[in-house]
Structure 1
Amino acid sequence: MIFDVFSTLAKRFFSGNLVLQIAVGIVCGVLVGQFAPDLALSSQLLGDFFVKALKAIAPILVFILVMAAIANHKQSQHTHIRPVLFLYVLGTFVASLTAVAFSFLFPTQLVLSASDMSRAAPQGLGEVLQTLVFNVVDNPINALLQGNYVGILAWAIGLGFGLRHASESSKQFLQELADSVTKLVNVIIRLAPFGIFGLVANTIAETGFDALLGYSHLLTVLIGAMLFIALVTNPLLVFWKLRRNPYPLVFKCLKESGLTAFFTRSSAANIPVNMSLCKRLDLDEDTYSVSIPLGATINMAGAAITITVLTLAAVNTLAIPVDFGTAFLLSIIAAVSACGASGVAGGSLLLIPLACSLFNISNEVAMQVVSVGFVIGVLQDSAETALNSSTDALFTAAACLSEDKA
């Protein structure tokens, strides 16, 4: 009897509306974090379990899906990787320019204090690009263990092309393996309401809302710029590709990808979510199996905004004059650096000293700016990841649907 009841509840849960379930998890997490902090801290186990499960399955999913897609690709099939890559690069650069405009329109000043940062920032753009290039030739086992998606993609593509000459039975086995991993991913994604409940409850219990009030202006500029990209420039780029109302697709990607990414705060962990979304949108699997993990590595509009806004906040605090040419150069540096953010420990925040060096700001002061970034990271990193990850799915969908229409 008890087993039957449990079975019925489980079936209803797994067949229910996932977005609605996540919304309920968010509300419950806020309430528990605010009014039962001890219980909220314990619930972090749910959040950690969910994020760890996603991060564990994502490298395997990417490796097998890309390898299977390339191995089973027919010569007559056409993929849309090139237009997706163009949108990635253009979108990241536009995000940098937007961040410059927001920083000039709403100048921000910081209260800088000494900060001991144990992690080293990259010393130049060459170091960022070198890390990115060396990740391509990483040991495949190490790439899977470390979540190095550039290396995973490189090995998956190479093996995929090699397996195109394999027997049909071997190719069929690869496809069945990819289908099996996809089903496992779907099960993990259905656990999102519980995981997000734990993440939200723990965040509210640990930081509350007071810690963020002192940086409200900075957060407003950062998140305002990200919202402008998500709701204005990205839709314009999608409209340019599709020549139709872009907002249904934009809102679908924000709701089904951005919402989950906001709380997991990991583009890598959100790869399975984006893969599942692209499948439901009936996009070309040969395209999204490559473009989604690649986007988690190089499509970094949110990171470009973070680097630009925090750098110009430091510049404004130190009363350093900025002309148009320097601001434009900062946009280029921020966009290129953002593409390498995933290859640097600490992500976008530790690339701020690199951008600050353009204005001869000392590394000591720059690292104080980084420390401010860690304070506001609860919201900044969440919003940044939501923008980055939802844009991966959005631009992939726009490119695929545009090519199919043509």
Structure 2
Amino acid sequence: MKSLFNAWNKLSLILQIAIGLLIGIICAIALPKQLSFLSIFGNLFVGALKAIAPLMVFILVMAAIARHKSGVKTNMKTVIVLYVVGTISAGFVAVVGSFLFPQTLLLANSAEQVTPPDGIVSVLTTVLFNMVDNPITAISNANFLGVLVWALIIGVALRPASESTKNIIVEFSDAITMCVRWVIRFAPLGVMGLVFNSISTSGLGALKKYASLILLLVVTMLVVALIVNPLIVFITARINPYPLVFKTLGRSGVTAFFTRSSAANIPVNLELCKDLGLDNDTYPISIPLGATINMAGAAITIAIMALAACNTMGVKVDIPSAVLLIFLTALSAAGASGVAGGSLLLIPLACSLFGLPADISMQVVGVGFICGVIQDSCETALNSSSDVLFTATAELYNNRKNAIKKQINI
């Protein structure tokens, strides 16, 4: 048993997760009822990640800001530009895909219990109020925008503090990071439970009538992940982007796919950034910020679902309206994390651009919930993996190439 345990520890985390994934699939197919207890491992793993993530973000960001020395450059400006470009590009690809492969919907009345925002002003208002939420409440409710804002404010206030005070904060952040590493070591077991639960309980048969729509959503996200994002990396950093792309998809995308939570994946992304040797003045801020505003997958979902609704209702969409939709989806996707229900509840905003009534747009949201078994997993994987991708790209752009090149084997 000891030799087996040692052999297991010698395997890379990605290989361990792949083994857990395979075991979960086999168990779900062979003995779904007899082994139903396996799903608890997935729930425990996600629960632990969600529990530690808000406190970790608060401490790490506060420590990074407090110890930051004047004159030392960070990569945040470049990161934010890449987040914006990535989200707008995803919206563009989604609109083009919808024009090339138009979809229609079998509308479903399954969204009666949810309330969409009244308009883009409502979304922005929610975002602003989340920013000034009580910091204790923000941590307990996993309001990462509020956590990030207060961590920045308190971090700036602590910059004149004594070195001994800063050292205590840094040591505390190191302790939190160690706790996160302990949780991530259970990722193979957690992924096994998550995939077992998905395959054994999700009624995938109900998705057959929406197969064409789901295929367009998934293919569009793959195009962004494997073509558009690598192109952005190449143009920005002038390197072969694929070693970095595959590393972020393998480490971040896989766990995000099964947890279906950008918040739960923040610890995974921070650990990956550390393994890549990225600047610790940047990634403790860029990763939680990305989980809030870097929403390429959400932009794709909103644009494709809105245009499918237009096709269903016979509404003709002209080029200027399509261009406006691209920017609307990018803006509303950035506020998705501040709205209960995420990206699906922002579909009515896009539908209102074309004059579709609320009862129709909410039926489209209902279709989105049905497709969410696959759509939400792919969306989260794209969103979360690109947080690390663009953070690393910004650092490559700012001429810190050697250390990162070594880590990603460029």
| TM-score, with structure 2 as normaliser | 0.95
Counterpart CA distance in 2 for 1:366 and 1:208 is 24
Secondary structure of the residue that 1:359 maps to in structure 2?
coil
Partner of 2:219: 224
2:368 to 370, 373, 383: 373
Residues 137-196 of structure 1: per-residue CA shift (max 9 Å, x gap): 100000001111111111111111111111111111111111111111011011111111
Partner of 1:100: 95
1:245 to 230, 235, 240: 240
Distance 1:116 1:60, change over 3 A: closer
Answer whether contact 1:265 1:381 (CA < 8 A) is retained: yes
Deviation at 1:213, TM superposition (A): 2.0
Answer whether contact 2:109 2:366 (CA < 8 A) is retained: no
2:170 maps to 1:200: no
2:254 maps to 1:259: yes
Q: Report how many aligned residue pairs link the two structures.
A: 401
Answer whether contact 1:61 1:181 (CA < 8 A) is retained: yes
**Alignment RMSD (CA, Å):** 1.4
Q: Percent sequence identity over matched residues?
A: 54
2:92 maps to 1:67: no
Answer whether contact 1:62 1:289 (CA < 8 A) is retained: yes
Answer whether contact 1:81 1:291 (CA < 8 A) is retained: yes
1:171 to 153, 157, 166: 166
1:124-143 correspondence to structure 2 within 5 Å: 124-143=119-138
* Counterpart code for 1:199: L
Counterpart CA distance in 1 for 2:155 and 2:70 is 14
Partner of 1:212: 207
Counterpart CA distance in 1 for 2:111 and 2:173 is 45
Answer whether contact 2:79 2:390 (CA < 8 A) is retained: yes
Distance 1:39 1:17, change over 3 A: farther
Deviation at 1:10, TM superposition (A): 4.9
Residues 310-360 of structure 1: per-residue CA shift (max 9 Å, x gap): 111111111110100011111111110000000000000011111111111
Partner of 1:87: 82
2:113 to 118, 128, 131: 118
Partner of 2:295: 300
Deviation at 1:24, TM superposition (A): 1.2
2:23 maps to 1:19: no
Answer whether contact 1:24 1:193 (CA < 8 A) is retained: yes
Distance 1:339 1:39, change over 3 A: farther
| Structure 2 alignment gaps of length 5 or more | 402-410
Answer whether contact 1:40 1:205 (CA < 8 A) is retained: no
Answer whether contact 2:49 2:183 (CA < 8 A) is retained: yes
Counterpart CA distance in 1 for 2:109 and 2:67 is 56
Distance 1:365 1:290, change over 3 A: same
Answer whether contact 1:34 1:208 (CA < 8 A) is retained: no
Secondary structure of the residue that 2:353 maps to in structure 1?
helix
Deviation at 1:20, TM superposition (A): 0.9
Deviation at 1:114, TM superposition (A): 2.8
Answer whether contact 2:56 2:177 (CA < 8 A) is retained: yes
Deviation at 1:115, TM superposition (A): 3.1
Distance 1:311 1:41, change over 3 A: farther
Distance 1:116 1:338, change over 3 A: closer
Partner of 1:35: 30
* Counterpart code for 1:190: R
Answer whether contact 2:25 2:195 (CA < 8 A) is retained: yes
Partner of 1:348: 343
Counterpart CA distance in 2 for 1:40 and 1:352 is 38
Deviation at 1:32, TM superposition (A): 1.5
* Counterpart code for 1:290: I
1:309 to 304, 310, 314: 304
2:380 to 362, 376, 385: 385
Deviation at 1:42, TM superposition (A): 2.3
Deviation at 1:248, TM superposition (A): 0.7
Secondary structure of the residue that 1:286 maps to in structure 2?
coil
Secondary structure of the residue that 2:316 maps to in structure 1?
coil
* Counterpart code for 1:317: T
